[in-house]
Chain A
Amino acid sequence: MRGIVAPVFGLLAVACVVFGTLNATIWRPSSEIAASVNVSGRYAMTDPGVLSMVAERSTLVVHAKSSKTRVCIALSTRKDAAGWLAGSTYTRITGMSDWQTLTTSSQKTAGSATAQDSSVEFESSDMWRSVKCGTGNVSLTSRATSSDVIALIDTGSNSSRTSVTIHWVREKLPDFATPFYFIAGLLALMTVLSASVFAMPDVKRRKTPGKPKPKDPDEISFSEAFAGSWSIIKRTFTPRKSNKPRKRHAPGAPAQSAFDRQNNHGEDVSSPDGNGSVAAEPVVVDPMSRNLVADMQQRTGADQPVLSVAAVQDSSVERAQATENPPVAGVSATSDEAGETSHHRHGRHSGAEHKVEDDRHEASAPVAFQPHHHSRHARHEGQPQAAQEQPKDVAHSYASLHVDQVWYPGGEIDFGSAGQFEQGEVTEQPQSEGIQASDAAQRHEAENHAPGDTSDADESHPTALRHARTNAPAPVNAEATSVIDPKELQAYFARWASQQETTDQDDSDDDNHEESKE
């Protein structure tokens, strides 16, 4: 290759230099241009701009075929010449077809010719800027500073034949040599390169010749990096299975939607051996940024006054439950969790079963995820209507003040209907101490309520009481959990599950203490 490419480049470079030199010398465009045309008739006139189309200075030469013909050339403007030529036919010189030939056309001017006797001689007219007359050959030089200057030729007779030539001396010539020189330079460079650098073996051109660079085991390959990025992108843009709007924190959003979402993903969340699907988003609700008053109002209806005690922590719920409803206090979290896990493995649920499962699930999930359910514990009929109309800020601050305890204004809390339910539940509770027992009780309950309407189930089992019997872990820092990180949550669940048994024991102990205090 070295022996072929480099000489070829070299030869081409030499050829370009030769052609450049030729174009600069013997092939150089001539600076003198002479274009001519044969004209017959008395008058000929150049178009405006023709005299100056090659160079500003031009020389018009008119050669009469007959040496006796008197020819006059005048420089004028088009309107003056048109006035002079009124009613006459003339040859119009329009331009150049090539560098040696002028183009012409025949034209007749409008108007009527003036009487010849009253007219002055062509050469003595005042209109011409310059005029020259003669026999045979006549030449006139024009320095057309503006393009409106034209040349008017009068041969004196309609039968005369003349040759009109315009000479220009070009000041700016087209330069064909420089491009050749430039290309020659490039080719010379290519010659040198192809003879030296490009001719080297590949290994010599590299900085680390010989063995290839050992691969870092930690270094990921391009395909791996791409696949990883692609999976993230794909997951981001995967359409959500639920068609419901993502309005978790919107005031007035149906509280059930959070449940629905949670149920949709419930199996994944509770799956102990979590695969990649475990990372599906759990519903995280920030109680600090949710108008719980509005939520409750929407869920319970306007006829039921609501006290906006929202962010009641589960421990306090537990205590309240213990004080108000001692028989329920002993509900064990272990059994709840067992029930939840068993129930969540069912694919579909009827309405009543669904509700039950929700409750179980709430009990097992971190408390920060379902604050609006806890707010139901504070439902109270005796609450004045004005309490509902508290502004959001007040409601929030009020809720935050009662993190650790539940305050029931008016003293009397209606747990009547719930009590019936709880009673039924309680009757079952003693039998369900173990996991299997709890599971069986849940199934039983589900069977009892399965045929019933969902709304009926809601009314007959107020959520306040259903929450009251749930057990939950210690308060979770809302700020920490508001960051949605599936892995972190998963780890948290795992930790929480492992510590569950011990805390259950402690909680029951606490309840017993409180009960004894009461």
Chain B
Amino acid sequence: MTSRITKAVTAVLAAACLMTFAGCEGQVPHPAASAEHTDKPDVTEAQERRIRANILKVVNAANEAKSVDGLDARMSGPELAIRTSEITIAQSTGSLDAKTNIPSKMTQAVIPTDSGWPRSIFTITTTTSDQQSQRLLVMVQDSARSNYKLWGVARLFQGAKLPKFAIASIGAQMGTANDTGLVMTPRKAVEAYADVLQNGADSKYASKFADDYFRQELAKLSQTVQEGMERNAGTQQQTFQAADGQIKVMRSSDGGDLVVAQINSEWTRQAGEGRESQPASDSEKALFGNGTATSTMKVTYVNVIAMYVPPAGSHQKITAVGAERQPVKVEAL
């Protein structure tokens, strides 16, 4: 009996010893300690592509429907006003202007690494199918719980030279309107450019800016209208004003800033005695609709200006690289 108990105990002990030879799963792993990467780009290139596609889906849907409903879900800022105007004009003219086309493919995406909101993504598209110039898209996410919206679109000038940015997988850095170390702070540069647009070569800032296509076209248009007004003994006046807070800045790798800002302008044309002031273009006519013309007509424009502000000491001039201009309101005073 005793020997049987001894044998049983021995067997149990042997089994217990054997179990120590049994394999285990190995050491429990732990998550990598240095896992905090705050300097990663805010979105991946795939996300940027998806975001842009989502935006364009909404925009194209509105274009096709010629309805501005739902545009605000994916559009904001000056681009919302411009697109609303364009669709409104299209409603009366029957077709969208060709310039409203936004290519779906991009050539470069500038993705910031900044934490916090709002965040901006600058994307340069390809040329359009009808060989229009590239578009600079500015997509902005105002908060974590909101989505990216198309804030601004500027058609890049032919031959415009954009600064270099860090590639999307590395990520660039967003600037502010008060960035220093530049020829001029971005906010000041926008105000100065508005002054240059208004006063032309007479502006005190004229020497700070390189000549650009937008200024030339605007001066040409103004000159033409001026000649017509003079024939009718009328007057015309354009005022340009930088829209407060509507400015997005992205720092380039060479130390300069690419600034996209909204400049509002009002063009007031007063006809001569006993005459009516009429809309100056099809767009204005579409916007004016069936309004009663008076001697004075005021047209409100929304301008989106993209300009490169070089770093201080670089002996470069501030250069406008792209612009968009759209009348948003025509009223007879």
Contact = CB atoms under 8 A, between A and B. Distances in A.
A345 interface: no
Contact size range, B: 35 or more
Interface in B257-289: none
Given A79-B115, A174-B25, A48 B35 contact: yes
Given A126-B43, A129-B47, A148 B37 contact: yes
Given A84-B145, A148-B36, A95 B31 contact: yes
Contact of A49 (B35, B115, B143): B35
A19 B21 contact: yes
B28 to A, nearest CB: 5
B54 interface: yes
A280 interface: no
A53 B30 contact: yes
B24 A29 contact: yes
A147 interface: yes
B23 A49 contact: no
Contacts of A78: 35-36
A147 B34 CA distance: 9
Interface in B163-189: none
A184 to B, nearest CB: 13
Interface string B140-152: 0101111110000
A99 B29 CA distance: 9
Nearest to A100: B25
B31 A79 contact: no
Interface string A266-303: 00000000000000000000000000000000000000
B145 A99 contact: no
B22 interface: yes
Contact of B144 (A29, A83, A124): A83
A114 B50 CA distance: 24
A124 to B, nearest CB: 7
24 contacts: A23-B21, A29-B24, A47-B35, A52-B31, A53-B31, A79-B38, A80-B42, A83-B116, A94-B31, A96-B28, A96-B29, A96-B30, A98-B28, A114-B144, A118-B143, A118-B146, A119-B146, A120-B147, A126-B141, A127-B47, A129-B46, A129-B47, A147-B31, A147-B35
Given A28-B23, A94-B31, A126-B141, 11 more contacts: A22-B21, A29-B23, A54-B29, A80-B42, A83-B117, A119-B145, A125-B147, A126-B43, A129-B44, A148-B35, A176-B24
Contacts of B44: 129
A230 to B, nearest CB: 55
A177 B22 CA distance: 10
B58 interface: no
A97 interface: yes
Contacts of B148: 126
B31 A99 contact: no
Contacts of B35: 47-49, 78, 147-148
B32 interface: yes
Interface in A108-127: 114, 118-120, 124-127
Nearest to B38: A79
A120 B40 contact: no
Contacts of A177: 23
Given A22-B22, A96-B28, A96-B29, A48 B36 contact: yes
B47 A126 contact: yes
Interface of A: 19, 22-23, 27-30, 33, 47-50, 52-54, 77-80, 83-84, 86, 94-99, 114, 118-120, 124-127, 129, 146-148, 173-174, 176-177
Contacts of B46: 129
Contacts of B36: 48, 78, 148
B26 interface: yes
B37 A127 contact: no
Nearest to A49: B31
B51 interface: yes
Given A97-B28, A126-B51, A129-B47, A120 B117 contact: no
Contacts of A30: 25
Contacts of B144: 80, 83-84, 86, 114, 127
Contact of A27 (B23, B115, B141, B145): B23
Contacts of B116: 83
Nearest to B141: A126
Closest 6 CB pairs of A and B: A83-B144, A49-B31, A48-B35, A119-B145, A174-B26, A27-B23
A83 B116 CA distance: 7
Interface in B41-57: 42-44, 46-47, 50-51, 54
A95 B31 CA distance: 6
Interface string B114-152: 011100000000000000000000000101111110000
B60 to A, nearest CB: 18
B330 to A, nearest CB: 32
B54 A53 contact: no
Contacts of B47: 126-127, 129
Nearest to A16: B21
A165 B181 CA distance: 52
A497 B97 CA distance: 137
B296 to A, nearest CB: 40
B145 A120 contact: yes
Contact of A114 (B43, B54, B145): B145
B23 A99 contact: no
A198 B31 CA distance: 53
A129 B46 CA distance: 8
Nearest to A30: B25
Contacts of B33: 49
B38 A53 contact: no
Contacts of A126: 43, 47, 50-51, 54, 141, 147-148
Contacts of A99: 25, 28
Contacts of A79: 38, 115
Contacts of A97: 28
Contact of B143 (A22, A95, A114): A114
Contacts of B54: 126
B169 to A, nearest CB: 11
Contacts of A48: 31-32, 35-37
A331 B46 CA distance: 122
A79 to B, nearest CB: 5
A147 B32 contact: yes
Contacts of A94: 31
Contact of A125 (B30, B38, B145): B145
Nearest to A120: B147
Contact of B26 (A27, A29, A80, A146): A29
Nearest to B37: A148
Given A48-B32, A99-B25, A148-B35, A77 B40 contact: yes
